[in-house]
Chain A
Amino acid sequence: MGNSRKSKWVSASDVGRASYCPHYLELKEKRTKPSQESIEARAKGEVSHEELNLQAEDRRCFVATHLYGSDHPNTCLLREYRDQRLASHTTGRVFITVYYAISPYLVIAARKLPLISRFMRYFVDWNIRRIQERHGDD
């Protein structure tokens, strides 16, 4: 009884696959080994979902996250500056767009060359000081 009850449960992904090709499910039930391409595609998909989550939360701040960490006060301060100041005018939005296009590559380069990290840290620290001064003035 317990088994038959348990087997009635179906997952959304399997139901989706049933509409794609029911034979897929038969092969899955027989524990057929998935192809290497599909394993790689799945791993890529997981990365894309993480990116989607970052996009949804808009917690992106690639350089600051690389330099200080995702929840560091400096990273949060820069996110706040982005949302409240930069995103409020066209030039700022263009800057945000270009920044998000470039910054992932900057971070990749910085991971390989620590000198770039040091330079970025110097520049970002200087900007943070400026933002804090402005906050102080306000």
Chain B
Amino acid sequence: MIDILLYGLLGLAAAALLYNFIRRIARSRSDLGIEGKLIWMDKGRSTKPFFNQVFEVLGKPDLMYRVRGGVLAVEYKSRRGPVFKSDVVQAKCAALAARGNGYQVTRLLVKTATSEQYIELPRADKALFNEIKEYVILTRQAKAGVRMKAWPNVGKCRGCAFKYDCVHAQRK
């Protein structure tokens, strides 16, 4: 009797593991679950970015869908882990660039391999620009040759492309 219970329990555990495995596969490989029509796609280097002549920013979202009330832009990061502020700032800037070409982006989906975040955007371009303005200014300063502050952090520095040449890099 105890044998049957034990095997039953093991069977249940195996079934639960299998179920979780299939769910994980299904989640990572199923469609994106966006209700809307795909209207634009970044096909790599051959796809030209959008230019917003007013704010002088350029960029391209990864995907754009026509959804109820406007356009949803998707910014995809292939790494695992949470959505970072820098991902959101990049996505907002790309959305502003797309708006310059007539795509009224009203919503963002920033997605990593393991998490995602939806963000509602302000209707006015100026308001959207104001949300990223300080970083646009910093970028312009860097391009002009101004010395830039470092914001070192163990996690950030680990993933940085210039960690071996950066005097501020925190290595642990």
Alpha-carbon gap, A50 to B76, bound state (A): 11
A49/B57 in contact, CB under 8 A: no
Query: How many contacts between A and B, using CB within 8 angstroms?
Result: 169
Alpha-carbon gap, A4 to B149, bound state (A): 23
Is A35 in contact with chain B by the CB < 8 A criterion? Answer: yes
Given A9-B57, A10-B58, A11-B59, A18-B138 contact (CB < 8 Å) = yes
Contacts of A53 in B (CB 8 A): 41-43, 63
Contacts of B56 in A (CB 8 A): 8-10
Q: What is the minimal beta-carbon distance from A13 to any residue of chain B, in angstroms?
A: 6
> Of A19-27, A70-78, A118-126, which stretch is located at the interface?
A19-27
B143/A12 in contact, CB under 8 A: no
A16/B93 in contact, CB under 8 A: yes
Alpha-carbon gap, A92 to B156, bound state (A): 43
> Per-position contact with A for B20-49: 1 when CB-CB < 8 Å, else 0?
001001100111100000100111100001
B156/A18 in contact, CB under 8 A: no
B residues sitting closer than 8 Å to A (CB atoms) are 22, 25-26, 29-32, 38, 41-44, 49, 51, 56-60, 62-63, 74, 76-79, 84-87, 89-91, 93-94, 97, 113, 132, 135-136, 138-152, 156, 160-166, 168
